Structure formats: structure tokens, C-alpha cells
Amino acid sequence: MAVEQRVLDSIALSRQEYDLIVERLGREPNDLELGLFGALWSEHCGYKNSKPLLRLLPSRGDRVLTRQGAENAGAVDIGDGLCVVMKIESHNHPSAIEPYQGAATGVGGIVRDIFAMGARPIAILDSLRFGPLTEARNRYLFENVVSGIGGYGNCLGVPTVAGEVYFEDAYSHNPLVNAMCVGIAPIDKLASASADVPGSLLMLVGSDTGRDGIHGASGLASTTDPTKRFDELRPAVQVGNPFLEKLLMEACLDLAHNHADWIVGIQDLGAAGLTSSVAEAAAKAGNGVVIDVARVPRREAGMTPYEVMLSESQERMLIIVKRGYENQVATLFQRWELEAMIIGQVTEDNLMRIFDGDEPVASLPLSVLTEPPLYTRQGIPSTEIAEAQSFHLDSLPDVDDASAALLRLFAIPNIASKRWVYRQYDHQLFTNTVIGPGADAALLRIKGTNKAIALSTDGSGRYCYLDPFQGAAIAVAEAARNVICTGAKPIAVTDCLNFGNPERLEVYYEMEEAILGIAAACEKLGVPVISGNVSLYNETGDTAVYPTPVIGMLGLLEDVSRRCSSAFQRIGDEVFLLGASLDSDSSALAASEYLKELHTKVAGRPQIDLALEARVQHTCLAAIETGVVASAHDCADGGLAVALAECCIASGLGLDVSEITIEGRMDAALFGEAQSRFVVSCRPVGVEQLKAIAAENDVRLFRLGVVVSEESLVIGNQIELTLAELRTAYESGLMAALQ
């Protein structure tokens, strides 16, 4: 008898997909088997709407050590026998329902992806989006998500070193909570997630299994309106225990680094729990598995095989143990006060066979279970976007009080200091943090070497809403500019792609164009995408979030003593705009914070010239490496005036730009967000060398002014403000919005 539609709806399978399952199996699946398909054919696990597009991303490079999607995270060689392992993932829907635990378990899950590969997690970053703080629920979500990230990361002992927070109407009731983790490992200690030795044993380690998280992968990630189902979906949100994860992390690193000859691989239990971890580990190797769910330690009585297999209880790992070493591995975990239980073994038959004691309860070919149908569509841009793109920005009145406009921009939550956020995070754990939160990018020393790594997360949903290709390319470029500002060279990307319902052709168009934009920018800038995550169905009712591809960028600095910062360094230093002259073209206002804040419009069409971007980035990095540039800051949100004010605030020094003349639109010149620009400073004796480096790369260099002792910012005859005025607006803006 065909299964009822309500059952399919509960596990997010379509009738057509069910019919395909029956066709491939040659029979109808039982209830447990159908649940396994619901999990592994979900968008969260199966990537059925995105995998064909993800293949367009460049993923190879001289430093890349892993194949995209083959392991829990991506790894790149940084020299000295070491590698960086990194990945970013979303926990959007759980955070919309239960923000503290949703965010906390998002951190726990991404950290497990890193130490599952034998890498010690050394940094967490976050990328967050919420609706306007004028709404009480958005304030509740924001405050508790931040608390959840800090609570888990601080207890776990991994510093949260950087991130970003934005507030837009489109994210009301459907926040985006993306967590990134970065780890370090000796290359020869990297662990795999592949169960490629038949006869090896499957050992489950960590927390007992409960009923939390069931249908988390298939239900939460597929529902288009979690706000209407809060009570129903709340049990699908996992509950975290960071202290247990700390033990699990140290034990797994002990095993991977000191006893690697005892094991075949390590896999974390995340979305879909045992189902995905076991099936994916075996399928990668073309092998099969036998599992006895009766051997799985449980914290609740009466759990069915269905509940055991689909539970997403946190702080659990699957260890694939070489036969004959099971006692040694179990003893190691006992020393770390962790329970370990053999629950099955790897076979050669490509079947996933599940028993409950002596009773067989499921038997499925892994090649069917782990290969969902893939969908491609012909996307179409929405008419709404076309109208916004065609808006005539020249029709707007020019700014009449630039000083007031700057103070107003400096105080909005998207630009104002995020100190309220990062003061809740311990960012100095391990004492690796050289540059911490609040800068263009974080910079962490790699102990035992002279090296450091720079880390940044970036992405503008507003840019991508107006032009997903250009907006996604800009996200890559800005993330790269941010790590360059520390003196590091961008070497790899991890991405988290947040979109609405891909079955809607307008959303599919956004996703496809954004991925093409990421691919184009990564190719031009020479940074491969080594890992990532896709989060779809981010909608409330019929309204999708802005298309929001978030880019996590890794940079490498060979000598940490040659680091750079955004703060002006000395009185008398010359300040330049690298990459452009003062741009008074109204097109620079497209998607800008100024346009949204002062004219309440999201309009225009953001643009980036990737060839120019590559030259500008190369020029800035070369100038830092030669020691000519004393400070560097990305010119981004809020435009040039905001960037200059941020440099002043960071240094406590003033800036005199009184000699410049602005022709044309002052708003575009001061607050426009044209791309491919850095604010840099250098000593007067270095000016000619800086000019030569810029000329050699065919990059414009425009002198702005000089760093002064007076604590003020003067720009032409348009802006004159004290640093005290700027600092008050900057430091109080977010707190005022939370009142």
C-alpha cells in the first residue's frame, strides 16, 4: 500500500521521490527505511538542488589537500608540515525556533567537523543576520543566538575571533546563523571519514542517544515557515553539552595523533545522526555496514530503531576501528571519561543492514540510499529585482549635511561597533590571537613557526538581492581584501550559501547566479573553495531571506612580525585611497547603507571589475610586504567617509583631508560603496615607492590627506567632526538599538 502523503510531508519527500525509491528498490520501504531515505534525500544531506551547481566552483590548487565534499572539512598546506582545516555551516532553522540551543549546537557541530579530521580547533567565526532590532522577537533571537555562541565556544575552550552581524527586514523571524571553525594539524596526522577497510568495527562514542533532533535534517531544513510550527518543531532542536564535547575533542585528537594505527577513520554525528554518519562513511569507500541499534547507549526508555537511527543528539562520534584494536580504543576513551560501544562493522556488500538485536529491521543498498535525485532548473529573475535595479539614483537629492549623515551612519547597527557581541566571546584562548574582533580580519599566530593565518567572514545579502552574480563576487573580493589588510595572502575559501526555496524559479536563479559569481571571483583571485554548506528553504511564509552567500576566507602571513592593521600609525603619515579617485558617480550608491538609511531604498545595481580587483589586491599586499604601507583598511560599508572615521577611531589620531575638492555628487563620493578600494597610510619618505608599486600594477592612487594630532576628522568643506563625537555614535549605536 502506498504511503500516505502526510507521512511523506513529515520527512520532506515528494510523491515523485517516493515512487523513485520504490522503483529503485523494487519494493516499498518499511517505516524505518523510509525515514532513512527522508534524512539522506533531504536537501541538508543530499544537496539535491545544489550539487550540480556546486561542481562549478574551483576547488583545486597547489595547497589543497582534500577533495571537495570527500571529507568533513577542507584542508590546505601552509608549510612546515602543517595544514589548516576549515569549514562553515548553517544552523538557521534551529536558531529560529530555539535561538540559544540552535546557535550553541551549530558551534558544536562545526567544531566536530574539524577535530574529526585530526585537527585541533583554534578559532571560531560567525556570520549572523537578523531582522530589525525594533521588533521584540528579533531582539530576542539576536540576544540568545549571541549568548548561545559564546556559551558553547567559551565552555569548549575555542576562541571566537571574528565575524559579522547584519540587520535587514528580509531576515525577520528567519535569522541566518552561520558558524565557521578553523583547525591546525600536522599533515601526516590528518584523519579520514571513509570506512574503507571491510571487517573494521563501528564504535559509537560520547553522549547517550536521546530523542532530541529527530527529523532535524529533513524537517527543519525543508519547512518554509518554521514560525508557524514552533511547538511542533521544538523537539527537533538539539541540546548541547560543551563540557562533554571538550572531552570528546581531546580524546579524538589523542587517538588521531598518538594511535592512528588503531583506527581506519573518524566521523562526527551531525545532521541525521547515525544514519548519515554510517551511510556516508561506508558509501565513500564503496562498502557496506551492519548495525545493531540495540547496542546503542540510550538516555530514554522505549526508543524505537527509527528514533535511534535518526536522533541528532549532540556530542557523538563514530570511530571506525581496526579489528583487534577495539579494547585499546575503548580504554583510551575510558581515560577521557567517555563511553564507547561497538555497534556494528564494515562489510563488502554495499548494503546498510540494521538489526534490533537478532531482528532485522532494515536492509538497503547504500548506492540507492546515498544518491538522491539531482534537480536542475531554468531560473528566472524576479520582476521585483528588475524594478529595483532600474531605479534612477540620480533622481535622489544630494546630501545636504554630510557630518550629520556620517554620524547617523556610524550609529546604525550594521556599521556601529559590535563590541556588545564580541565582549561575550573569549577571543584570547590559546594566546594565539594577534588581531581580534572588530578589525578587518582576525590574525592568529601559528605557534612553533613565524607564520600567522588571517580569517574573515563576509557577505552582503542586499548586494546579492539586487544582483546575485555581482553580489557574490563582491563577497569573495571583500573577504579577500579584509585578510590582505592584515598583510596575509588569501589562499582558500569555505562558503555557506543561504537561500530560500529552490523550487521557486526566482530563488533558483539567485542561487545559480551567486554560485557563478563566487566561481568567477575565486578563479580571478586564485582562491579555491575547499569546503562549504548550503542552507535552503530560508523563508517565512512566502517571503525568502535575501540571497546570502557567506564567504569564509583564509589568508597566510609568512612572518607575523610584518602584520598590518587598520589603525593609523604616526602623526604626519600620508593617507591615500588605493584603487580609485573620489568617485562621484551615483552608481556607487547602489545597495549602500547610505541609500537604505537616508533614503529608505534598496536599489541600483552593484558592480565589480574583477580584473581591477585582482590588481588592487596585489598592489596593496605588495605595498604591505615591502613595508611601505603602515596601515590598510578595506573601504566597504558606508563608503569612504566611514572607512576614514574607522581608521581614526582605531588609532585615536585625527585626519586632515581638507585640501580635496569633490566635484559632482558628494553623497556618492563620501558614502558610495564602489568596490576595489583600500585606505592606506605611509610615511612621507615612502610615498614615491608606493606610487611606483601602484603604477607598476596599473592601479590608481589618490592622495587624501595627512594624519594629525588633533582629534578630529576633516574632509573637504563637507565633514568636520571630533573623534569624541564619532566614538560616541560608533560605540553606542548597537546598544541603543537594543533598548
**Would you name the residues annotated as active-site residues?**
44, 91
12: left (phi over 0), alpha (psi -120 to 50) or beta: left
Q: Is 22 helix (H, G, I), strand (E, B) or coil?
A: helix
**CA-to-CA dists, residue 180 to 75, 123, 493, angstroms:** 14, 8, 11
Nearest Cα to Cα of residue 569 among 645, 650, 641: 650
- Show the cell assigned to 356: 534490533
Amino acid at 230: F
Q: Is 79 helix (H, G, I), strand (E, B) or coil?
A: strand
The Cα–Cα gap between 547 and 461 comes to 5
Residue with cell 574529526: 116
Amino acid at 133: L
**CA-to-CA dists, residue 100 to 234, 240, 372, 676, angstroms:** 12, 10, 32, 37
For residue 738, the 8-state DSSP code is H
Q: Is 325 helix (H, G, I), strand (E, B) or coil?
A: coil
- What number of other Cβ atoms are within 10 A of residue 445's Cβ? 20
Residue with cell 550539487: 51
- State which H helix or E strand residue 385 sits in: helix 383-389
Nearest Cα to Cα of residue 455 among 480, 430, 421, 427: 480
Virtual CA dihedral for 513, 470, 488, 655, nearest 10 degrees?
Answer: -160
Could you report how far apart the first and last alpha carbons of the chain are, in Å? Answer: 57
